[in-house]
A and B are shown apart, each in its own frame.
Chain A
Amino acid sequence: MAPSLEAPETVEDVLANPLKQKPQLVAPEPEHCPGPDSEQAGVADSCAGCPNQKICASAPKGPDPDVPLITARLASVKHKILVLSGKGGVGKSTVTCQLARAFATNPDITVGVMDTDICGPSIPKMLGVESETIHISSAGWSPAWAMDNLAVMSIQFMLPNRDDAIIWRGPKKNGLIKQFLKDVEWGDLDFLLVDTPPGTSDEHLSVNTFLKESGIEGAVIVTTPQEVSLLDVRKEIDFCRKADIRVLGLIENMSLFVCPKCTHASEIFRATTGGGRALAQEMGIPFLGSVPLDPRIGMSCDYGESFFDSFPDSPACKALKSVVRTLADQIGLDPNEIMPADES
């Protein structure tokens, strides 16, 4: 029988199932495999006759021995924030970069950005460090520095050719994410922003499992105003609830577009169902603000420049600043220390 859809694996089960060293299987996992890491491994009904049965049954089923190592490594990071969205292309990476840059405008704050989007890493390009490579020392892997106080880690740095496709299945991606957390020498950071790929799958589960013990401050969720996007974002909020991740707030990106010629404001991604604000209210989570669609944000991302430096007076910049202040407030920090209010 194929995996039943009527009774899908409950999210709680998947989440409660920590990631461990994968047992060395002698044959590919069959379709109805309960998962070589699961409690059921080797003893489930579908395991009968599988060549891997013995291996799975005898595999260690305790907590992952690497989790304490990760916790020790990240002990010097004060706030760990995830940036999530169920939908792709809503601006997770853009928001991550802008948040990082906003935090980094204060020279006393050190920020780290970790890009867990393995198949489509955008962070290095947006922060202008695309050509960097990773240096490995005895202390661990050194991240690339986009600014004096802004460290970046991404799989892009490990590719010999920038257009290479990473054709990896889930377990391999989990392995790399673990390594990013375990082996990267982040040093003392005030914020570690974790950019994620769209969806609710391997990467999200892994980051959550590995960071659970060291404590995740919470998640910032990004959406665009139209219902097609809100639909997927609702799923992501559901995921956060079930995974016990605090939602720090929802950011509505690409909300209005102001025509540069006639200053007519158009709702390109029309919020037929009330947009991000209504969703935040419906789900009972804080709304951090709307960021208008400004072609210059995209442009500064393409060139890896700071939007804050290039266009400090634009409405989008002001909106972003207000988002940062609200976010700081949610984390319990003084907004004025993170992002001083505009003198006006």
Chain B
Amino acid sequence: MSLSKIKHIVLVLSGKGGVGKSSVTTQLALSLSLAGHSVGVLDVDLTGPSIPRMFAIEDAKVTQAPGGWLPITVHEADPSDGIGSLRVMSLGFLLPRRGDAVVWRGPKKTAMVRQFLSDVFWDELDYLLIDTPPGTSDEHISLAETLLQRARPEQFAGAVVVTTPQAVATADVRKELNFCSKTGIQVLGVVENMSGFVCPNCSECTNIFMNGGGEVMANDFGVPFLGRVPIDPQFLVLIEAGTRPTYPVGTEVNGRDISTPIATVKSQDDTPDTAPLVQKYRDCSLAPIFHTITADVIIAADIANQK
């Protein structure tokens, strides 16, 4: 069983699409890696895999080895810098062309999810993050079934649930929380994503998708609230173009000044920055927020796995 050497398994769930499950998974993975843990990311969104794009490894191809499929390495561990290794597996790697539609009905998706859980050769990992498609259907039922059956209880920590603040989104995510309680998946916490947008011109924070809905929902269901994550266009640019994030003077996120020193801005010019994603992510305004969220997830996962 390929999961046997993994210490903690964490699902990233949301009933609603486009709330940032993949972004949150990516950032959790980067933060865990920055904290020195070895991390694996498994993308089971079969009809819309976004994880390969997030890590800019769309062209990678998966290879077979005697132990199973080998995941793609985003970066190796760097003990001198305190960075853990990061590996990724996604259906996206198995598609011949990236624009191709994967039109699969339920039973086929179920089989694929099972295979992803059993046939990927992860080797030793501290954390395996599983990014899921929206909803509470085939993929989720199969994941829950397979993990509850095959993973040891001290391995399968639970789920991080992602939402955006507006009522239309939380209405769907409430269903996901009910799904977790029905299937016996422990909720490690709720992340409220896209909570406010700081104008890059005047630093005014606008709550595009309202504010606070995630926290209210977490309280209603008696699950931990992990934090609010604002929209940062610089993070998107980092993902899409690989540009190191820079911020104008006076930018504050959650009361913390994160503006880039002018000297650094000037020295960057247009030369493409070849540093690994994880290094550039350190400069992103969201990194400190995810540092806190990740610390909470680590504690919650430890407690859950000790039970």
Contact = CB atoms under 8 A, between A and B. Distances in A.
Interface of A: 2-3, 5, 8-9, 11, 14-15, 29, 31-33, 35, 86-90, 93, 118-122, 125-126, 162-171, 173, 197-202, 204-205, 224, 226-229, 231-232, 234-239, 242, 257, 259-262, 264, 266-270, 272-273, 293, 295, 298-299, 301-302
Contact of A197 (B135, B199, B239): B135
A227 B240 contact: yes
A169 B47 contact: no
Nearest to A166: B136
Given A163-B171, A257-B208, 6 more contacts: A200-B47, A238-B100, A266-B197, A268-B197, A273-B240, A302-B210
Nearest to B181: A165
A123 to B, nearest CB: 10
Q: Interface centre among A35, A119, A226, A227, by most B CB within 10 Å?
A: A119
B204 A261 contact: yes
A198 B134 contact: yes
Given A125-B167, A235-B102, A201 B136 contact: no
Contact of A226 (B164, B169, B197, B236): B236
B166 interface: yes
A169 B138 contact: yes
B43 interface: no
B290 to A, nearest CB: 18
28 contacts: A2-B119, A32-B111, A33-B107, A35-B107, A87-B48, A89-B16, A89-B17, A120-B16, A166-B136, A166-B175, A167-B137, A167-B183, A169-B110, A197-B134, A198-B47, A200-B103, A228-B54, A228-B239, A231-B48, A231-B50, A236-B101, A260-B206, A266-B233, A267-B233, A268-B236, A270-B233, A298-B210, A301-B168
Minimum-distance CB pairs A-B, first 4: A88-B17, A89-B18, A170-B106, A119-B135
Q: Interface centre among A31, A88, A236, A262, by most B CB within 10 Å?
A: A88
B66 interface: no
Nearest to B99: A234
B241 A272 contact: yes
A226 B199 contact: no
Q: Interface centre among B19, B106, B119, B200, by most A CB within 10 Å?
A: B106
Contacts of B22: 228
B231 interface: yes
Interface string B227-251: 0000101001101110000000000
Contacts of A200: 47, 101-103
A259 B178 contact: no
A228 B137 contact: no
A51 B35 CA distance: 51
Q: Interface centre among A121, A201, A236, by most B CB within 10 Å?
A: A201
Nearest to A239: B101
Given A3-B111, A119-B15, A199-B47, A167 B101 contact: no
Q: Interface centre among B15, B133, B208, by most A CB within 10 Å?
A: B208
Nearest to B137: A119
Contacts of A270: 233, 236-237, 240
B108 interface: yes
State the majority secondary structure of interface residues on A: loop
Contact of A198 (B102, B115, B133, B206): B133
B48 A198 contact: yes
Nearest to A32: B111
A29 B107 contact: yes
Given A167-B179, A295-B209, A31 B202 contact: no
Nearest to A163: B174
A295 B208 contact: yes
B2 to A, nearest CB: 13
Interface in B75-130: 94, 98-112, 114-115, 119
Given A201-B105, A270-B240, A295-B207, A163 B17 contact: no
Given A29-B107, A228-B50, A264-B200, A235 B100 contact: yes
B39 to A, nearest CB: 20
A229 B106 CA distance: 23
Contact of A259 (B101, B206, B209): B206
Contacts of A226: 236, 240
B29 to A, nearest CB: 16
A169 B200 CA distance: 44
Q: Interface centre among B18, B100, B102, B141, by most A CB within 10 Å?
A: B18
B182 interface: yes
A3 B240 CA distance: 33
B172 interface: yes
A238 B208 contact: no
A335 to B, nearest CB: 29
A37 to B, nearest CB: 9
Given A165-B136, A169-B138, A302-B166, A228 B108 contact: no
Contacts of A166: 136, 175
Contacts of A298: 166, 168, 208-210
B176 interface: yes
Contacts of B17: 87-90, 120, 197-198
